[in-house]
Amino acid sequence: MYSDPIFFGANLYGISIAVGILACFIVLFSYCKVKKFNEQFVDFTFYNGIVAIGVGFLTAQLLHTFYIYLATGHFNFPTGFSFLGGLLGGVISFIVGYLIFRKKLKQSIFDLTPVASCCILIAHAFGRIGCFFAGCCHGKETDSFLGVKFPDLPNPVHPTQLYEAAFLFALFIIFSILYLKKNDKYIICHYLISYGVFRFFIEFLRDDNKGKFIGNITPSQTWSIVMVVIGIALYFVIHYMYKNVIKKRNTQESVQLATETEIAETNEN
């Protein structure tokens, strides 16, 4: 809709993406500072995150191209972006980077998952606003007062981009409060489950045909189911991990206290 360049060759879609990425890193540094993350770990997260974003953009294009191939039988690269494809590629890239350098880092990737979830939410929300400006990812035709008339469409349609953006901003606020005020360790689980469920049902309103995977289930709905399953599984993984971390930490503190007590008694004697 607003795809013409308006600022140094950039259009509102590109500007929205840029604002989303900037907001993502502002959240990263702000939340890590509040939680007193190790500076080396924060620097690693920043640079590894930049690489992950680059990989994510590539896989977003590749998966979207594959979707279009399923729907039309024609291969044409690039044709657009798939958020879920970008998320998949970006997450895998980040995890690989972490595994390579994990022995040099002083914090676990599980400490980062709540922050990362908030970062993804804020970036994704601005990205969906960009989709609205571009006129892509819109919904089906509607007579509702919520309908929006895009220049290249004959009738008003559901602005599913704005529905999703509002949902993502709401999740960002809720999860930020849960993490910063309640120190909730399961934010990544809440994110995967809540967004997976939302995306599954919002697909019934969307009007961008990307083929089918299983029966009448769209590719995005398939990935949504996968997200929910992973979110549930991660809950048990994180619970087990933190339970053992706390147990190990308490053991180390007990040993340290016993050692200090023994040294003190020796000095007194």
Residue-averaged pLDDT of the chain: 85
Mean pLDDT of 93-109: 90
Give the start-to-end residue ranges of the domains of the chain.
12-242
Q: What is the pLDDT of residue 149?
A: 92
d(C-alpha 162, C-alpha 136), whole Å: 11
Asked if residue 32 has pLDDT above 70, the reply is yes
Query: What pTM did the predictor assign?
Result: 0.83
Q: Are 119 and 94 in contact (CB under 8 A)?
A: no
Long-range contacts of 234-242 (CB under 8 A, 24+ apart): 234/188, 234/189, 234/192, 235/186, 235/189, 238/110, 238/113, 238/185, 238/186, 238/188, 238/189, 239/186, 241/108, 241/110, 242/110, 242/185
Comparison of pLDDT for 145 and 67, the residue scoring more: 145
Q: What is the pLDDT of residue 164?
A: 96
Comparison of pLDDT for 193 and 89, the residue scoring more: 193
Asked if residue 113 has pLDDT above 90, the reply is yes
Asked if residue 250 has pLDDT above 70, the reply is no
Q: What is the pLDDT of residue 30?
A: 96
Asked if residue 131 has pLDDT above 50, the reply is yes
Mean pLDDT of 58-63: 83
Q: What is the pLDDT of residue 132?
A: 93
Asked if residue 214 has pLDDT above 80, the reply is no
Q: Are 179 and 118 in contact (CB under 8 A)?
A: yes
d(C-alpha 245, C-alpha 109), whole Å: 13
The pLDDT-based confidence of 106 (bands split at 50, 70, 90) is confident
Instruction: Report residue 259 as tokens.
Output: 């050692």
- % of the chain beyond a pLDDT of 70: 79
Q: What is the pLDDT of residue 3?
A: 52
Q: What is the pLDDT of residue 2?
A: 47
d(C-alpha 206, C-alpha 46), whole Å: 34
Q: What is the pLDDT of residue 67?
A: 72
| Cβ partners under 8 Å of residue 58, min gap 6 | 89
Asked if residue 63 has pLDDT above 70, the reply is yes
d(C-alpha 201, C-alpha 205), whole Å: 8
The pLDDT-based confidence of 165 (bands split at 50, 70, 90) is very high
The pLDDT-based confidence of 120 (bands split at 50, 70, 90) is very high
Mean pLDDT of 142-153: 91
Asked if residue 241 has pLDDT above 90, the reply is no
